Amino acid sequence: MNPVLKVEDLSIRLPEGADRPYAVNKLSYSLYPGEILCVVGESGSGKSMTANAVMGLLPKAIQVDKGAIIFDGKDLISLEEKRARDLRGNRISMIFQEPMTALNPLMRVEDQIGEVFLIHSDLSKQQRKARTLELLKDVGLPDPEKAMRVYPHQLSGGQRQRVMIAMALALEPSILIADEPTTALDVTTQAQILHLIKELQRKHGTAVMFITHDFGVVAEIADRVVVMQYGDMVEIGSREQVLNQPQHPYTKKLIAAVPPLSAPDREIEDRAGQSPALSVKSLCKTYVSPGGWFKPARTVHAAQDVSFDLYRGETLGLVGESGSGKSTVSRCIVRLLDSDSGEILLGGSAIQDLDHKALAPFRKQIQMVFQDPYASLNPRKTVGRIIADGPIAQGVPVAEAMDRARELLKLVELPETALDRYPHEFSGGQRQRVGIARALAHNPQVLVADEAISALDVSVQAQILELIDTLKKKLNLAVLFVVHDLRVAAQVCDRVIVMQHGKIVEAGNTKAVFEDPQHTYTQNLIASIPGADWRSEHQPTAVGQPA
**Are 449 and 469 a contacting pair, CB within 8 Å?**
no
Residue 92 CB burial class (10 angstroms; 0-12, 13-18, ≥19): buried
Q: Which is nearer to another protein, 334 or 462 (CB)?
A: 334
Closest CB to another protein among residues 393, 542: 393
**Are the beta carbons of 139 and 197 closer than 8 angstroms?**
no
Supply the minimum distance, in Å, between the C-beta of residue 84 and another protein.
21
Cβ-based nearer residue to another protein, 54 or 434: 434
Rounded-to-integer distance, Cα 354 and Cα 438, Å:
23
Backbone phi, then psi, for 238, in 5-degree steps? -70, 165
How far apart, in whole angstroms, are the C-alpha atoms of residue 95 and residue 71?
A: 19
Nearer to another protein, 60 or 473 (CB): 60
Q: How far is the CB of 94 from another protein (least distance, A)?
A: 21
Is residue 41 within 8 Å of 227, Cβ to Cβ? yes
DSSP letters, 469-508, are: HHHHHHHT-EEEEEES-HHHHHHH-SEEEEEETTEEEEEE
Run of H or E residues at 125: helix 125-138
Closest distance to another protein from the beta carbon of 497 (Å): 22
Which of 63/241 has CB closer to another protein?
Answer: 63
Minimum CB–partner distance for residue 337 and another protein (Å):
10
H helical segments located in 428-484: 428-440, 458-475
Sequential DSSP letters for 129-145: HHHHHHHHHHTT-SSHH
Our CB check for another protein shows the closer of 15 and 205 to be: 15
Q: Which amino acid is at 309?
A: D
Shortest CB 459 distance to another protein, Å: 23
What's the full length of the chain, in residues? 547
* Smallest separation, CB 441 to another protein (Å): 8
Where does this chain bind another protein (CB under 8 A)?
A: 15, 59-61, 334, 336, 356, 359-360, 363-364, 367-368, 370-372, 375-381, 386, 389-390, 393-394, 435, 438-439, 441-442
Among residues 36 and 477, whose Cβ is nearest to another protein?
477
- Minimum CB separation from another protein for residue 393, in Å? 4
Q: In the bound complex, what is the minimum distance in angstroms from residue 372's beta carbon to another protein?
A: 6
- Rounded CA-CA distance 277/40 in Å is 42
Q: Which is nearer to another protein, 224 or 484 (CB)?
A: 484
* Measured distance CA(258)–CA(40) in Å, rounded: 13
